[in-house]
Structure 1
Amino acid sequence: MKVSVIMGIYNCEKTLKESLDSLLNQSYKSFEIILCDDGSKDNTLQIAKDYLKKYPEKIRLIQNETNKGLAYSLNRCIDISNGEYIARMDADDISYKNRLEKQMNYLESHPECALVGSHVFLFNDKGVWGIRKTKSDPLKKDFLFGSQFVHPTIVIKKAILNQVGNYTVSKATLRAEDYDLFMRLYAAGFRGHNLQEVLLNYREDATAFKRRAYKFRLDEAKVRYNGFKKMKLMPLGLLYVIKPLIVGLIPQRILTLLRHQGLDSNQDDEATRPIVK
């Protein structure tokens, strides 16, 4: 088993089937899918059980007794994984058929690379409406502007993920577990790459840009501070630590405009990036 695809699932009965089907249809075959139900209250768990029954050789399912959050659920998946690599996937996104094949080809031909991601198309129930591009080879300083990888697109070496302690489970990282992880990886000397092509459709509504509760912006400021400090980006980083707090004060209509203007940018700016899944 080469790859373990890990997915936290929670109240996603409307999208889970399409997401799982996109994985089961991959051209790359040496992988398993590990699902962790995080206390779903709809039909999500039953759908997962149905897929487990149909694909017992491919799918594994675990459950949290209560809702614990994405980072906790992903860590549980990592703990029982058999793969040499860990791939991420969300229960409302769609992987392209050749996604894992292309990412594994890159990782195995570039042993110096710890993780690989890609561009994504943004879509909703009406279809694709935008694109989010990612920088090919992000540097430490790029993280001042925001996370440099789209979380559900990444494939990472499991040994390296274990080396940095997997995902951080804390109040501060509740909405920024990916940003925190990527900064810890870079602080430890690892580097990643983004394939300059779309390999996943990322579900996001084109009209409804949810305003984050201000408490989550405070939490992200803490994540930024800790990450920038570990990557030795201080004192310049202090200017970017307060950025989410300032963004939280910007009127909704201006945020939406900034977001749409930033869709084809290589910098994943806080004002324009989607809420972390």
Structure 2
Amino acid sequence: MHSEEPLVSVLIPAFNRVDLIEETVQSVWAQTYSRVELIVVDDGSTDGTYEKLQQLSDQGNLTLLTHQGRANKGQSAALNLALRHASGRYISILDSDDLFLPQKLEKQVHYLENHPDVGLVYGLGEAVDSQGNWLYDLLSADHTEPNDPAAVLLDCYFLLPQNALVRKQVFDQAGLFEESFRAAQDHDMLIRLAELTRFGFMPEKFFQYRRHDDSISATGAERRWTTGFEILQRAASRYPYKKSIIRRRKAVLNFRLSQVYWQQKNHIKALLCVLKSGLLDPRRGLRVLLGMEKVS
């Protein structure tokens, strides 16, 4: 690597991932792009993750940060602490249980260096189980980037943390992660970024997303969809989305909540949410009921 190549800051928020964090860190150290600063924030882990990270920081390129008193403040606060310490031209975020594939940073840096009008680039990924076995692909190679903030608002069609490489100056414009959100903060940030810059898409696999029973994505469904209403309200006050787009997103959020409430056996709330969803977007509601369309 040449000294003139730009520095990339990789940020990992970590909480109670003692069995997986070393493999995650190793996937950063194994990158074919070498101008990387790795910043890991331990968010008050109690299972030995912090001690494991101390050992790893003695072995290689890893800056370990914690909140005062090693408090647990949530993923947004951990990412904000890391962002404040990041000095790279580009930012890449990696969840503490996921993995970068070896050429992710090299190829994404090359793309952004050659596309100065693009502020964020992303690609393909795959979901794997806790043993690393393939489960399914994330996105398809024929995906096209619409470069429309409304598309991101309606459908968080890719995972922001581990998939993207973002210009630091765009993150600076977007502001920090919303610390009052304990779910869906990734979608909130992605919407804000889409309102500010063009996105680029590369049809190559760059990461592995671990799908397992204790993932936040598997247990925080109700919190995620209720937070979605606050995200939507803020987006509508910030950017001139069409009223039809706002209605469609409200319909999706109500439908998703109906699924959660039905699983919780709260059938009255579930049916009320289904009714709201159908009234907000009757055409799509009919298509979903007929199996002609999936809900994002």
TM-score range, shorter chain: 0.7 to 0.9
User: Per the alignment, do residues 77 and 215 of structure 1 end up closer, same or farther by CA in structure 2, a change over 3 Å counting?
Assistant: closer
For structure 1, which segment, 223-232 or 84-93, has the greater mean C-alpha deviation from structure 2 after superposition?
A: 223-232
Q: Name whichever structure is richer in helix by fraction.
A: 2
Unaligned runs of 5+ in 2: 1-5, 264-292
Q: Deviations over 1:219-261 (max 9, x none)?
A: 1121123224433223111231242222121255xxxxxxxxx
- After superposition, the C-alpha distances for 1:166-199 in whole angstroms (9 at most, x for unaligned) are 22222xx3211111112112223x1212221211
Q: Which residue of 2 aligns with 1:168?
A: 178
Aligned residue for 1:210, secondary structure, equals helix
Q: Secondary structure at the match of 2:203?
A: strand
2:62 aligned residue = 59
> Structure 1: which 5+ residue stretches go unaligned?
253-266, 271-277
Contact 2:99-2:209 within 8 A present in 1 as well: yes
Please report the RMSD computed on the Cα atoms of aligned residues, expressed in angstroms: 2.4
The answer on 1:132 being equivalent to 2:138 is yes
Q: 1:202 aligns with which of 189, 205, 209?
A: 209
Find the counterpart in structure 1 of residue 77 from structure 2.
Answer: 72
Secondary structure in 2 matching 1:114: strand
SS state at 1:193 partner = strand
Provide the TM-score with structure 2 as the length reference: 0.78
Residues in 2 aligned to 1:211 and 1:69: alpha-carbon distance in whole angstroms: 15
Give the number of the structure whose alpha-carbon radius of gyration is greater: 2
AA of the residue aligned to 1:6: L
| CA displacement at 1:269 relative to structure 2 | 5.4
Determine if contact 1:4/1:83 at 8 Å carries over to the other structure.
yes
Q: What is the percent sequence identity of the aligned residues? A: 23
Partner of 1:112: 117
- What amino acid sits opposite 1:80 in the alignment? H
Partners of 1:154 and 1:147 lie apart in 2 by: 13
Pairwise CA distance, 1:61: 0.6
Q: Which has the higher contact order (CA 8 A, sep 6+)?
A: 1
- TM-score normalised to structure 1 length: 0.83
